[in-house]
């Protein structure tokens, strides 16, 4: 197998030779550097590489080129090598175009010309992107295939699980020739979907998420029975705790019931997170945090649902749904929240078949030239609307209030106002949904007049607030009336200590009513529901874990 390729594109021969020279000097022993003088020439090179079954790790494209701009080239190159990392070379005057490209082609970075000295301005960027690419194999090399029906809820569940866990796959419809051949080879029929076929040819019909995780190489079993720290939940708070815990020498395991990233991991673009002035997608942020946690030695377990927490003297014991257990000195609860179910006639039966909770990146390309309805007025709904606006004919945002100002960040409101095909419908709720094999119609109701109307619709994405997943903690730690975990000073309000508190000291700031068990992120009562604060609380929880351990 030939070395993976780094493709550089610039119509200026002098600049083209310079960038190829600098890249070859640093990476030529591990990567094949391919140089092209235009977008069409570069696309021809990519097609040839694709036909040979080889891989492309990085694309370095100049923006101002005749025939095809760098952004246009990167947009078309994504169809051939979606996992390749993308860098735009640009002059200072073109930085606005580069920033726009971040949303259009999920740009990883842009570099101002000239980039000298490369040791300071080029190589650190390329090093980081190549490391990221190496940690996420190209879909062609993995060749995991999923066969299913367009409007099959189980097929959607498999695809969404793979996408959220950053596992590349190829989607095939059961009634397509190739999909039909795979079903026949597996001895399955169209009613048996979804079918998952690995690169080695192993075929599994309708796998559970645990079976699917093991099939694609995700870790599902702990390596030990006892840890210094168990983190429950893999959103920003949980990943933050895992990174800081492992980096500071604690034997750390993170347990996630479905996929790391949480609700933030589903976001198409987070633009107000510190350190990313041009924004970052939830998938990118999750990918980087996962790799960072693994680098420091944390274990990440997927598809393991924690159903119980018990006090065992100096240890805290966690029980899994399958009856197995692990124990630790300390626990950080970072289980986040789940979107509330929209209780309207017909929607439950159509969930996964046109009705979805949260933003599902897997569905966006299927919304081309159709109307999309988004329910909710918070940032997550706004980010989804921006994302879907690139595909849909029109995006309709349905909100109960008069406008978005009470619940959405100003930057998102301004962004939505600049998008021609986004429309906000105030005082509007979904009263029902209809369809046979998928969503076909919605009934919308004006909350002021009570007047209802029916619209044709195949796509409904729901973001209507959140509920904590804490029922399994009932009777173990103190929760507020909505189920959020009460911590620190709030536990001793009024001068009384929480029931069962056995220590002479008062609870630490993020500590729950069970000593040594901390809460971080959205699951904590009165927390600030932002990615940055969740990461900060995850890090703070680890500092309190150290304080707790030192006092034992």
DSSP string, 390-419: TTSSEEEEE-SSS-STTTS-HHHHHHHHT-
pLDDT tens-digit map of 22-50: 999 999 999 999 999 999 999 989 988 87
Which superfamily, per CATH, for 143-215? Glutaredoxin (3.40.30.10)
What are the CA-CA distances from residue 164 to residues 233, 241, 258, 359, 440 (Å)?
14, 20, 9, 11, 27
Average pLDDT in the 100-114 region? Answer: 73
What are the CA-CA distances from residue 50 to residues 9, 46, 88, 200, 253 (Å)?
17, 6, 22, 20, 39
Q: Would you state the pLDDT for residue 288?
A: 87
Q: Would you state the pLDDT for residue 529?
A: 85
Average pLDDT in the 194-199 region? Answer: 90
CA distance 212 to 161: 9
pTM for the structure as a whole? 0.77
Average pLDDT in the 86-108 region? Answer: 71
β pairing state of 325-333 and 315-320: antiparallel
Assigned CATH topology for domain 226-338+467-551: FAD/NAD(P)-binding domain (3.50.50)
What are the CA-CA distances from residue 141 to residues 6, 178, 182, 220, 255 (Å)?
17, 18, 18, 23, 28
Average pLDDT in the 88-100 region? Answer: 69
Largest CA distance in the chain: 75
* Residue 101 pLDDT greater than 90, yes or no: no
Top-tier CATH class for 348-464: alpha beta
pLDDT tens-digit map of 382-439: 999 998 998 899 999 999 999 999 999 999 999 999 999 999 999 999 999 999 999 9
* Residue 366 pLDDT greater than 90, yes or no: no
Give the number of other CB atoms < 10 A from CB of residue 368.
Answer: 10
pLDDT tens-digit map of 213-261: 999 999 999 999 999 999 999 999 999 999 999 999 999 999 999 999 8
Q: Would you state the pLDDT for residue 95?
A: 65
What backbone phi and psi angles, to 5 degrees, belong to 45?
Answer: -65, -40
What are the CA-CA distances from residue 61 to residues 42, 97, 430 (Å)?
9, 13, 45
Burial 49-66 (b: 16+ CB within 10 A, else e): beeeebbbbbbbbbbebe
- 3-class SS of residue 301: strand
Q: Would you state the pLDDT for residue 139?
A: 43
Contact 521, 538 (CB under 8 A): yes
**Whether CATH 3.40.50.300 fits 5-137:** no
Average pLDDT in the 154-159 region? Answer: 93
Report the share of the chain in percent with pLDDT over 70.
95
Q: Which residues, including other chains, have CB under 8 Å from residue 442's CB and lie 6 or more apart? A: 373, 430, 432, 433, 434, 454, 455, 457, 460
Residues of the chain with CATH 3.40.50.2300: 5-137
CA distance 478 to 505: 17
The continuous run of DSSP H or E covering 370 comes out as none
Residues of the chain with CATH 3.40.30.10: 143-215
Residues of the chain with CATH 3.50.50.60: 226-338+467-551, 348-464
For all residues of the chain together, what is the average pLDDT? 90
Q: Would you state the pLDDT for residue 140?
A: 45
- 3-class SS of residue 172: strand
């Amino acid at each position: 197998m030939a070395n993976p390729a780094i493709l550089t594109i610039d119509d200026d021969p002098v600049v083209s030779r310079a960038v190829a020279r600098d890249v070859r000097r640093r990476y030529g022993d591990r990567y094949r550097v391919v140089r092209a003088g235009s977008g069409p020439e570069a696309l021809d090179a990519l097609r040839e590489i694709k036909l040979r079954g080889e891989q492309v790790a990085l694309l370095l494209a100049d923006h101002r080129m005749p025939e095809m701009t760098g952004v246009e080239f990167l947009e078309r190159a994504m169809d051939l090598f979606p996992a390749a990392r993308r860098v735009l070379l640009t002059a200072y005057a073109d930085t606005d175009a580069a920033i726009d490209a971040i949303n259009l082609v999920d740009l990883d970075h842009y570099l101002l010309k000239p980039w000298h000295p490369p040791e300071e301005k080029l190589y650190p960027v390329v090093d980081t992107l190549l490391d990221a690419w190496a940690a996420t194999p190209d879909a062609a090399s993995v060749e995991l295939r999923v066969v299913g029906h367009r409007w099959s809820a189980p097929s959607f569940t498999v695809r969404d699980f793979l996408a959220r866990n950053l596992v590349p796959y190829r989607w095939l419809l059961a009634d397509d020739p190739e999909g039909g051949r795979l079903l026949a080879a597996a001895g399955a029929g169209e009613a048996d979907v979804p079918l998952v076929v690995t690169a080695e040819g192993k075929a599994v019909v309708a796998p559970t998420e645990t079976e699917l995780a093991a099939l694609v190489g995700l870790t599902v079993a702990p390596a030990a029975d006892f840890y210094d720290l168990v983190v429950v939940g893999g959103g920003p708070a949980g990943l933050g705790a895992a990174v800081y815990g492992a980096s500071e020498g604690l034997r750390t395991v993170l347990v996630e019931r479905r996929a790391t990233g949480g609700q933030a991991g589903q976001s198409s673009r987070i633009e107000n997170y510190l350190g990313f002035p041009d924004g970052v997608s939830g998938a990118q942020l999750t990918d980087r945090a996962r790799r960072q946690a693994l680098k420091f030695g944390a274990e990440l377990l997927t598809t393991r649902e924690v159903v119980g927490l018990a006090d065992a003297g100096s240890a805290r014991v966690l029980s899994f749904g399958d009856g197995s257990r692990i124990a630790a000195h300390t626990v950080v609860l970072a289980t986040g929240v789940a979107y509330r179910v929209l209780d309207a006639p017909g929607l439950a039966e159509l969930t996964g078949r046109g009705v979805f909770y949260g933003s599902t990146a897997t569905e966006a390309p299927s919304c081309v030239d159709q109307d999309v309805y988004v329910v909710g007025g918070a940032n997550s709904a706004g980010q989804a609307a921006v994302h879907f606006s690139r595909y849909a004919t029109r995006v309709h945002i349905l909100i109960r209030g008069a406008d978005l100002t009470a619940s959405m960040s100003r930057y998102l409101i301004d962004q939505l106002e600049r998008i021609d095909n986004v429309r906000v419908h105030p005082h509007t709720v979904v009263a029902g949904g209809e369809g046979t094999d998928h969503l076909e119609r919605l009934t919308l109701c004006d909350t002021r007049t009570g007047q209802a109307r029916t619209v044709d619709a195949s796509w409904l994405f729901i973001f209507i607030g959140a509920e904590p997943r804490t029922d399994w903690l009932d009777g173990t730690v103190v929760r507020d009336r909505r189920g959020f975990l009460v911590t620190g000073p709030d536990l001793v309000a009024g001068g009384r200590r929480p029931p069962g508190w056995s220590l002479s000291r008062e609870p630490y700031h993020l500590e729950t009513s069970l000593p040594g068990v901390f809460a971080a992120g959205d699951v904590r009562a009165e927390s600030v529901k932002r990615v940055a604060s969740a990461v900060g609380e995850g890090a703070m929880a680890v500092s309190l874990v150290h304080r707790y351990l030192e006092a034992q």
